[in-house]
Structure 1
């Protein structure tokens, strides 16, 4: 458990340092611009890593829900938990989000921390991260295009089309598939069965 706590603290400090770096290098931009750069980086990194873990490294989330956490899953959960803590802190400090988004952040933090403490069910949380974070980079690119005044053209339409395609394919269809496997898994405890639907 000490190792997990240290990994989460290191992750938080890395995201905070990257944010500070972006802010120092881009002082002509808003603070939200720097925060969204971190969100974009997190989305890309987590999509790649969670996809690799779910689809290549294993175990397969549709058949191994509720199984013990692997070392790769734990590292990814720690990386993500550090980011969630950074993002929640930023939102609270700058009062940028309402109570609904803050509640979503808290649910994500509690669910991820619970899986790390429990020592199992990272397989399904990893799959949920993959389907939910895969569309996040496109949302950030959309924001950057709007911020720079380049949204209302072919590039903006392309980003929107890719977002809708991924949202329907991964979040709706893939998410429903994951939820079904979690709900029917005899090894997944009831608290985990409640959280994936909330995270979707």
Structure 2
């Protein structure tokens, strides 16, 4: 019952923040205000899960499947409330494709399963930390586009940081965590299956990001070559 109340409070909290932002920034679009909520959640949950994983413990690479702690449960409830809010918003506004909706659905089911089983909170918080670590950069890219600053050095820096963090943390460290979960005897079979789903989705996103990085680098090189050619002709 306490967990349910915490999740409901989380949903109401994110919804209230969204409504307040809509009232404060009436000239902005609904997506602008929703992304501000997403940015707020990303910063909060990264800080919270970082404390859970690196300070409060236990370490997910060695204690996968261990019993949930109170702080882990709180982190999961806060995150679950946000994902429920955001999934409803995305469905209402039809703003996301099937891959992102599948990611939201898998995240919600994974957190629900962790809370229901009462275990695997440490690796679930670890996955949330790795997944949300790049979220503020993702939102920064969108906001930079909206204000016309994306095609600048700042936009390039955000892209490089985003791709590097995604590849290094979500795929690199995520692979190690995925291996530890699969080989550990403690996690339930359902949690291991959930880990497979999240790992596959991470690679789907990684392929899309790699394609984006290749296309942008190719475009930047072409522009640089054309500019150099014009300067040499002048």
TM-score scaled to structure 2, two decimals?
Answer: 0.83
How many Å apart are 1:107 and its aligned residue? 1.3
Q: Give the whole-Å Cα distance in 2 for the aligned partners of 1:12 and 1:119.
A: 21
Q: Is the 8 A contact 1:125 1:196 kept in 2?
A: no
Q: Give the whole-Å Cα distance in 2 for the aligned partners of 1:21 and 1:86.
A: 15
Please list, as runs of the form range in 1=range in 2, the aligned pairs for 1:31-110 lying within 5 A after superposition.
31-110=30-109
From the superposition, tell whether residues 162 and 100 of structure 1 become closer, same or farther in structure 2 (CA, over 3 Å): closer
| Match of residue 174 from structure 1 | 173
Alignment: residue pair count: 199
Q: Give the whole-Å Cα distance in 2 for the aligned partners of 1:3 and 1:67.
A: 21
Please list, as runs of the form range in 1=range in 2, the aligned pairs for 1:25-36 lying within 5 A after superposition.
25-36=24-35
**How big is each residue's C-alpha offset from its partner over 1:75-95, in whole Å with a ceiling of 9 and x where there is no partner?**
000000000000011011112
Q: Is the 8 A contact 1:23 1:31 kept in 2?
A: yes
Unpaired segments ≥5 residues, structure 1: none
Q: Give the whole-Å Cα distance in 2 for the aligned partners of 1:153 and 1:186.
A: 49
Q: Give the whole-Å Cα distance in 2 for the aligned partners of 1:196 and 1:23.
A: 36
Partner SS for 1:29: coil
Q: Give the whole-Å Cα distance in 2 for the aligned partners of 1:53 and 1:97.
A: 30
How many Å apart are 1:99 and its aligned residue? 3.0
Hey, which bits of structure 1, 4+ residues long, moved more than 3 A?
none
Partner SS for 2:151: coil
**How big is each residue's C-alpha offset from its partner over 1:154-181, in whole Å with a ceiling of 9 and x where there is no partner?**
1101111111221122011110011011
Higher RCO (CA-CA < 8 Å; seq separation 6+): 1
Q: Give the whole-Å Cα distance in 2 for the aligned partners of 1:141 and 1:196.
A: 28
Partner SS for 1:126: helix
**How big is each residue's C-alpha offset from its partner over 1:15-69, in whole Å with a ceiling of 9 and x where there is no partner?**
0000001111111110000000011111111111111111111000001000000
Unpaired segments ≥5 residues, structure 2: 203-234
TM-score scaled to structure 1, two decimals?
Answer: 0.97
From the superposition, tell whether residues 100 and 172 of structure 1 become closer, same or farther in structure 2 (CA, over 3 Å): closer
Q: Which has the higher Rg, Structure 1 or Structure 2?
A: 2
Q: Give the whole-Å Cα distance in 1 for the aligned partners of 2:144 and 2:98.
A: 27
RMSD: 1.0
How many Å apart are 1:145 and its aligned residue? 0.2
Q: Which moved more, 1:160-169 or 1:8-17?
A: 160-169
| Match of residue 117 from structure 2 | 118
